[in-house]
Amino acid sequence: MALHRLASITIGVPNVEETCRYYAEFGLTRDGACFSTSDGGEQLRIVHSPARRLIELCIGADDPDDLDRVTDRLARLGVTGQRAPASVSAVEIHSGALAVIKVLPRISQAPAAITPYNGPGRAERKNRRAPAVLRDQPIRPRQLGHVVIGTPDAEASQRFFVDGVGFKVSDQVPGVAAFMRCSTDHHNLLIQPSPVAFLHHTSWQVEDVDEVGRGASRMLDGHPERHTWGLGRHFIGSNFFWYLRDPAGNFSEYYSDMDTITDDQLWTPGTWEPSLGALYAWGPDVPPSMLEPDDLADLMATSHQM
């Protein structure tokens, strides 16, 4: 795969400083309005916007030849890419997001520590407590995993990212969601239909399910209003999840154990029926705000003013 990672995103919010404080508490390393993960480097920038939305997403490519191919594919869709020596960029008009494909080094991640688990007939951890219950260090996300956006023309947005940029479809729920990847992760971008363009959520990888739970629990301490959905396990993508709400209304997800696709020939993309069963294997009931944002009317009103 010539594309190899979702490198970074820029999000727009009406309340920049309040939202910045939230993501610093979430575990990202702050430098002004820019935030880094432990493995991915600087992966989030927060800027002002009248309504919450995805402003830009940067995608890593291997070399300039990859950029030439993206430029040609975009042109076949009638999209003019802005070519620079080490990047090509174009706006996906329905979501309003600027896609920047840039020559970048591939991400390198040290393996997570192996956590010994006891089970029926299998005692991997004898005569000692589980290491996970002794952890007390702050949660630090390892990398940005994916971003989810709503768009008024989901089919056209999908064509832009698949036929133009070069994402691959991992799974689809017709009329509901398209899960697409630009790395070996099951998905780095999810597009869903919406009356107005908006940012649904960003997702951040942590070590394991214990870190998902510890991270969310710490974020909820004194702030129960942040809770949205979790703990659970998705069906599509298979990852553990817990969603929180940032001060601008975007969801932020801690996740671990995402499906990995290293050989396209061995993965068969699925087309799943639009039911709640496609969203999660187990967990609490899906809150209505996950399917339709509480501030949809405000987003639509603001979009007419922009």
Distance CA 59, CA 167 (A): 10
- Which whole number is the average pLDDT over 169-175? 96
- Looking only at the bridges linking them, the beta strands covering 189-193 and 177-181 are antiparallel
Angstrom distances, CA of residue 160 to CA of 68, 75, 82, 175? 16, 11, 15, 17
Of residues 99, 135, 127, 273, the one with CA closest to residue 217:
135
Give the pLDDT confidence score for residue 277 in this predicted structure. Answer: 85
Q: Which residue has the tokens 């671990």?
A: 256
Distance CA 191, CA 168 (A): 13
Q: Which residue has the tokens 């997403």?
A: 57
Give residue-wise pLDDT tens across range 200-212.
999 999 999 999 9
Q: Which residues contact 76 (CB under 8 A, 6 or more apart)?
A: 163, 164
Q: Which domains does the chain show, CATH number per domain? A: 3-106+140-305 (3.10.180.10)
Q: Which residue has the tokens 């040609």?
A: 72
| Mean model confidence pLDDT for the chain | 96
Contact criterion met (CB below 8 Å) for 202 and 46: no
Distance CA 75, CA 144 (A): 29
Give the pLDDT confidence score for residue 203 in this predicted structure. Answer: 98
pLDDT at 169 over 90: yes
Backbone angles phi, psi at 33, to 5 degrees: -105, 15
Distance CA 301, CA 306 (A): 9
Give residue-wise pLDDT tens across range 117-158.
999 999 999 999 999 999 999 999 999 999 999 999 999 999
What is the pTM (predicted TM-score) of this model? 0.96
- Which whole number is the average pLDDT over 7-13? 98
Q: Give the SS3 label for residue 285.
A: coil
**22-58: burial string, b at 16+ Cβ within 10 Å, e else:** bbeebbbeeeebbbbbbbbeebbbbeebebbbbbbbb
Whole-number percent of the chain with pLDDT over 70: 99
Give residue-wise pLDDT tens across range 261-282.
999 999 999 999 988 888 999 9
Q: Which residue has the tokens 């969310």?
A: 216
pLDDT band per the 50, 70, 90 thresholds, residue 306? low
